[in-house]
Amino acid sequence: MPGTGLVSLVPRAREVQEADGPPFVWDTDTALVAEPAAHGVARWLRGHTVLPFREGDGVAGAGAGTTVELRVDDGLDAEGYRLDVTPTRVLIEGGDAAGIFWGAQTLRQLLPPAAFRRAGRPGREWHVPCCHIEDAPRFGWRGMMLDVARHFTPKDGVLRLLDQLAAHKLNVFHFHLTDDQGWRMDIRRYPQLTGAGAWRPRTRVGHRASPLWDERRHGGYYTQDDLREIVAYAAERHITVVPEIELPGHSQAAIAAYPDLGSTDVVDTAALGVWTDWGVSPHLLAPTDDVLRFYEHVLDEVLDVFPSPYIHIGGDETPKEEWRASAVAQARIAQEGLRDEDALQAWMVRHFDRWLAARGRRLVGWDEILDGGTLEGPGLTPGAVVSSWRGTDGGAAAAEAGHDVVMCPEHELYLDRRQAPGPDEPVPLGRVATLRDVYAFSPVPQRLAAAGRGERVLGIQANMWTECAESTQRVDYQVFPRLAALAEVAWSGSGGSYDDFVERLVGAHLPRLDAAGVEYRPLDGPRPWQQRPGIPGRPLD
């Protein structure tokens, strides 16, 4: 029946076949058998299935009970899996360890929603329907960005979110660590980045036009040991953590900590503090050799903590008034033979693009890194990746120039945007992006598909900015259940039936989120305690 069993998977699987026979009975006599390559998945299963496994020698067929077996099959695609359930055995085969892990996530969805709780009732057993499932993702980049600079998310909240990404078969966590309103990564060479840059004296409540203020000091940061723990926790769930260190804009917190990073010949940077407001700060990093060295030293420590092949440097929203007024910036433009201030930003982006490439990493930046001639002349290195947020045109242009692209357009995939019209929606920001809008998003623009360049689209990503989301409860409300729709587009591809998706969502997936303690937005609108009357937003048509 709809909403249960084999038709309840979110995201939907490529091929699902029911099989005859009584269900597989999973109880305390069920053994777990894993090849060495699957030991990490076995460890995850033991900790996340509520029921314990029988202790045994790990040999298939040993003992009298049923078995769950994990194997690698080199004939399957990377991240692909095959799941076979018979009355006596569950067999998950993956093209790699990640594929086995995604198969284990599917197995958990074949169980009742109570399987998503952290503990179960003694004596319970699970019944799994006999079936054959073959599945693999459409895109290799299935991501979510969390902004912890505007409102800090403690480590436990990040780990909790990683569990939810894994449950939705998402494999990239874009970690937005720095901005005007806070610097969140401990950099040992420059302790004031967190000593001063991680804290602001007060915070605007609501949109930047709001007259309301929270007068409490706000802040926080992650030690490098915290971040290594987050990276390891994500890796166990086959999630890559992509850190973002913003430059040359969105850098007021860094300049507040180290005033020499700013345009000291134009602004009294020593008087700047960590920004308490929202929007786009006018203060950019100065284009000097000392600033380049400073950020190279910062990135040395970033690379030491984050093994990701991708490092995000931001590059968005950079008003150039200070550079136009700065003799230092103008001298750099003349020295490098640049056209204007946009080309100066492109010069800085190219510097770090090459610096990262020389260390085996790939620069990622918002689509403004295409501005100012970065696709002309020496241009970006071939490995540079563009996050296309101002619609999809920037991503299409980057793909046509030979660069990989992650699609994350603001009007469809920015989860801080309001989910419905009307006065009940808390802090209504931007255009409406409904659950249906997210589900209907087509990641590959027609012009790329027609030109045979669709493979340049690595995948898609939802972005959660936290100016108006000061707690895990508020993030939950904005993210879920729209993240489930994003996950289905990323894993299963466009073209599914929205009505079928909603049936699976309501019938089975929302109860899973309930069991996991996720404070999602109900489809018929916010619960009374989720509303925020009196806090101004900025709704757009």
Cα–Cα distance between 424 and 419 in angstroms, integer? 11
Average pLDDT score over residue span 416-428: 92
Instruction: For residue 5, name the pLDDT band (cuts at 50, 70, 90).
Output: low
Share of the chain above pLDDT 70, in %: 96
375: pLDDT strictly greater than 90: no
Handedness of CA 496, 497, 500, 501 (dihedral sign): positive
Instruction: For residue 86, name the pLDDT band (cuts at 50, 70, 90).
Output: very high
382: pLDDT strictly greater than 60: yes
261: pLDDT strictly greater than 50: yes
Average pLDDT score over residue span 352-373: 93
Q: Is 165 helix (H, G, I), strand (E, B) or coil?
A: helix
pLDDT of residue 50: 79
103: pLDDT strictly greater than 50: yes
Instruction: For residue 3, name the pLDDT band (cuts at 50, 70, 90).
Output: very low
Contact 390, 371 (CB under 8 A): no
- Of the chain, the end-to-end C-alpha distance in Å amounts to 40
**In 3D, which of 360, 358, 355, 322 has the Cα closest to residue 341?**
322
Cα–Cα distance between 138 and 489 in angstroms, integer? 9
pTM for this model (two decimals):
0.96
Share the mean pLDDT of the chain.
94
56: pLDDT strictly greater than 80: no
pLDDT of residue 425: 92
Q: E-strand spans in 19-156?
A: 24-26, 31-34, 67-72, 81-85, 89-94, 126-128, 131-135, 141-147
Pick the most confident of 45-49, 264-268, 380-384, 494-498.
264-268
- Neighbouring residues of 360: CB distance < 8 A, sequence distance ≥ 6: 309
| pLDDT tens digits, one per residue of 179-206 | 999 999 999 999 999 999 999 999 999 9
Average pLDDT score over residue span 323-350: 97
CA atoms within 13 A on the CB side of 483: 33
Share of the chain above pLDDT 90, in %: 88
Average pLDDT score over residue span 17-31: 92
- Neighbouring residues of 302: CB distance < 8 A, sequence distance ≥ 6: 185, 243, 245, 311
6: pLDDT strictly greater than 90: no
pLDDT of residue 121: 75
442: pLDDT strictly greater than 60: yes
Q: E-strand spans in 158-233?
A: 172-176, 178-179, 182-183, 199-200, 203-204, 213-214, 218-219
| Number of helical (H) and strand (E) elements in the chain, helices listed first | 18, 24
* 178-179 and 172-176 strand pairing: unpaired
Instruction: For residue 51, name the pLDDT band (cuts at 50, 70, 90).
Output: confident
pLDDT of residue 4: 45
378: pLDDT strictly greater than 60: no
Among all residues, which ones are annotated catalytic?
Answer: 179, 250, 317
Average pLDDT score over residue span 425-430: 91
pLDDT of residue 2: 38
Average pLDDT score over residue span 440-468: 95
Written as six digits, the tokens of 335 are: 């020295």
538: pLDDT strictly greater than 50: yes
pLDDT of residue 208: 92
Instruction: For residue 59, name the pLDDT band (cuts at 50, 70, 90).
Output: low
Contact 429, 416 (CB under 8 A): yes
Instruction: For residue 16, name the pLDDT band (cuts at 50, 70, 90).
Output: very high
Instruction: For residue 373, name the pLDDT band (cuts at 50, 70, 90).
Output: low
129: pLDDT strictly greater than 80: yes
